[in-house]
Amino acid sequence: MIIDQVWPFIGDYVRDLLMTSIQEKIQTSHAQAASFKFLKIDLGDIPPRIGSIKVNTKNVKRDEIYMDIDLMYGSDADIEMRIKGMTMGIKDLHVRGELRVIMRPLISRMPLFGGISVFFLNNPTLDFNLTGIANAIDMPGLSDMVDTIIQEQIAALMVLPNRIDVPMVQDLASLARLKYPLPDGVLRIHVVGAKELIKADVGLMKKGLSDPYAVVRMGAYKFKTHVINNTIEPTWNSIFETIVDAKDGQLLDIEVRDEDPGSKDDSIGTTSLPISTAAEKGTEDTWLPLEDVKTGRINLKLEWMYLSKNALILEKEMELRNKLSNDLSCCLLMVNLDSARELPYILRTKMLRAKKTMSEPSPYVKLSLGQSKFESGIKADTDEPRWEQNFRFLVHNPNLQTLELEVWESKSKTRIGNLKVPLKNLLVEPDLIVDKFYNLVNSPSPKAQVRMRLCLRVLTSEYSQADIEEEEEEETPVETLESKESSVDPVAQQSASPADKTAKAGPAVVKKVEVVKVEKVNKVSSKLPEGQLIPPMDSSTPIKDSDVRQRKSPSSNQGGLYGRGRIQITLRYSTQRQNLVAVVHKCVNLIPCDTDDNLADPYIKMYLLPDKSNKKKTTIIKNTLNPVWDETFEFPVKQADLSSKTLEFSIKNDTSFYTSNKKFIGIAQIELGNMDQTKAATHWFDLQPDEDDCKPVSLPSETDL
């Protein structure tokens, strides 16, 4: 109900954000997207749904609350844009992801917590259809380019390490934890090789092998190995490193692809792994089976690196690093770009009278360390900008490397000052932290300064209880020691296990971070996740088995009235388009149909009866009894005729011609006579077993609900 009420306002905010900020970023992010422009943005009337809420009660401090929200958005959005002179649209937009909400620190006065952080733990899944000329000509690569652009902008906004932070109490000393969060650690990933890959290059003039490479993803990061031609058993030996912000929740995803120059590369297997598995073990060398293919395995070696503020272990860690590879990092540098003051005014010329005047600058900052380069946001018309942005750099040798900073004026495109900070200076600072104003050089203003907080951490594979405990004290809210409003129990904090104490700091706010990541897959523990799982009121979401494929049938009492399963749909009527809009969300506890693994490959056929000429069909979901579609379909129908219509959903199992597997799963027919045409409504329906003698059911009324 709350989401329904605020959805129109969220739509207005998102439209303004896309038009004013995201559009410009898209134009500058891709050479082919320089002409990109939004023409129309309407997020529709159907708000996102919350599938479940998991409240974490372990591995968190007593003065913070962690919630993981399963967010699903199957929309009736209407978006139009122009690119390269072509006008196209996006419809049937579907987004699903796990959203983490952190409220901390808890305080004893309203609003009871000092700040809130919101971010996606992993990249949300995204699906949409193009309309207009783009759909008509089916231009190769256009849909992929639009998909990439949307994914990148979502990731840059709120996929770890990027996030949205909102301070709720401005004068709270312990908000330092919100402003300067520490990552959990760094993961080193060695993508060794693969075996038994499928032969993707078959056919006339092809080799009967593959040209494989691996793509590794974690949060907003994406990396790839080199391509090895003409083999199904490649050896890459590619080593990557990635900063991990939330090891309890983030996933490593890996996809093996076959390179096809001149056309879209084929996927020849995927797999994923919770990062917590590697963090708990410290090191792991494993072969992982690839999913969605008949054969294929990939070999990964993972090493978890803790963050230490003990500068005395640096030399030892560098020696160990050099034995593996000189390209690996030995430290992590976290830069909080806070603010600047006394920046020089800029001489500008007014266009009408060609008169020159002095005006305030619109500054932004460029930071670089080695090959990594980042830019801050632009602060318009101020000589005392406040950025409050975080950036992270993986450091190879702090004794030799230097952080370089340049302040630029965006309108005149001129540099108005710079400075350099040798990282070796941090090695002699208490706790390897410096927080101060730095004087700019080569600036027209002799008093120009930039304030930064620099924090250096040594990467080590050895857990040091003393270092971690001291880190916890540093991150403990100041209120614990100085304020009467504290709700933190220091004794309880000291009782945390070593493994717990490395995962307390939240992710950092960054514009971009060029770090390397990896992925791997393993069997996940079959025990329930920590915390409480709160399912939606109208569903009984089954607990998934930990195996790669779900092999357990749902219990009989969750299979609906007829034991065939249940289907969840949202219905609404669009008076503007004269269409019935149906969103197929998911089915639960379907009957097993395949004799070899007690699973099914379900899809749904839909008809608006009594007319069967306009058939709709979902995609096929492989190897599951609990498929999730979140797909939107529209049926043209006059409003006056809607009360005489019945909507049919027939759930089928995708089978081959000669198989003995079951084809029919279940059916539901919904009479639309009492449909409330003024709003969208989501309902569950039991699947019936008789395809030829299905009994139509009415939509629940408000009284029934």
Helical (H) or strand (E) element with 235 = strand 235-244
Across 442-470, b (16+ Cβ under 10 Å) vs e yields ebebeebbbbbbbbbbbbbeeebeebbee
Alpha-carbon distance of 328 to 116, in angstroms, equals 34
3-state SS class at 407:
strand
Q: What pLDDT is stored for residue 150 in this prediction?
A: 74
Report the relative pairing of strands 579-588 and 449-460 from DSSP bridges: unpaired
C-alpha span between 565 and 588 (Å, rounded) = 6
Whole-Å CA distances, 293 to 32, 86, 197, 256, 600 = 33, 37, 9, 11, 16
Q: So what's the pLDDT on residue 495?
A: 35
DSSP 542: P
User: What does pTM read for this prediction?
Assistant: 0.63
Residue spans of the chain under pLDDT 50: 136-137, 469-557, 703-705
Strand 251-258 and strand 113-120: pairing? Answer: unpaired
Find how far residue 521's CA is from the centre of its chain. 18
Q: How many CB atoms lie within 10 A of CB 441?
A: 11
In the numeric block, the tokens 């029919």 are attached to 664
> What pLDDT does 194 receive?
94
pLDDT of residue 353: 57
Q: Are 425 and 400 in contact (CB under 8 A)?
A: no
| 419 Cβ contact list (under 8 Å, min separation 6) | 404, 405, 438, 439, 440, 441, 450
pLDDT at 506: 35
Residue whose entry in the numeric block shows the structure tokens 């000589």: 383
> Residues of the chain with pLDDT > 90: what percent?
30
Bridge pairing between strands 664-671 and 697-698: parallel
The per-residue pLDDT for 303 is 93
Q: Cα angle at 163 between 513 and 26, to 5 degrees? A: 65
Residue 75 CA, chain-centre distance (Å), reads 19
Report how far residue 53's alpha carbon sits from residue 64's, in angstroms, rounded to the nearest whole number.
Answer: 16
pLDDT of residue 256: 94
CA pair distance 541, 559, nearest whole angstrom: 11
Beta-ladder partners of 11: none
SS3 assignment, position 680: coil
At residue 355, the pLDDT reads 67
What is the SS3 assignment for 133? helix
For residue 617, the number of C-alpha atoms closer than 13 Å in the C-beta half-sphere is 11
| Residue 348 parent element (H or E) | strand 346-349
| DSSP β-bridge partners for residue 605 | 617, 650
CA gap 691, 455 in Å, rounded: 66
Residue type at 336?
N
Bond preceding residue 274 cis, omega within 30 of 0: no
Give me the residues paired with residue 457 across strands. 332
Q: Of 294, 289, 139, 268, which is closest to residue 201 (Cα–Cα)?
A: 268
The Cα-based distances of 184 to 121, 334, 492, 535 in angstroms read: 13, 13, 20, 29
